[in-house]
Amino acid sequence: MTIYTFLYPLAIHPDAMNKSKKIWCSGNKTIAWNNYMLKNTLPKNDGNCDTPIEENLELAKKLGISSTPTIIVSSGKRIEGALPYEDIVKYIE
């Protein structure tokens, strides 16, 4: 199973864009994402690198995605909102 995570900073969270850029501009994006999600710790950088975040926002707009998390499984089914791990596995299987 492969999970692709797209940073999608929502405007209702004032510092979301800055946080997303810091994660993207880190040396190891996976570790930076996990540290933020699990420990509320951001990388110590200025977030000033080229990122695809604006492209992510445009793609989400085209797909009608307006909330996080939004999961799209390989069947094309869209799941919006947080779910327990067990429920996500059911959708994937």
Q: What is the pLDDT of residues 75-91, one digit of tens each?
A: 888 889 888 989 888 88
- pLDDT for the residue numbered 52: 96
pTM (2 decimals)? 0.80
Q: How confident is the model at residue 19 (pLDDT cuts 50, 70, 90)?
A: very high
- pLDDT for the residue numbered 25: 97
CA–chain centroid gap for 50, Å, is 17
* Secondary element (H or E) of residue 88: helix 85-92
* Secondary element (H or E) of residue 91: helix 85-92
Fold of the domain built from segment(s) 16-92 = Glutaredoxin (3.40.30)
In 13-84, which residue ranges form alpha helices assigned H by DSSP? 16-24, 29-39, 53-63
14 has a pLDDT exceeding 90: no
57 has a pLDDT exceeding 80: yes
Give the pair of three-digit tokens for residue 55.
């492209």
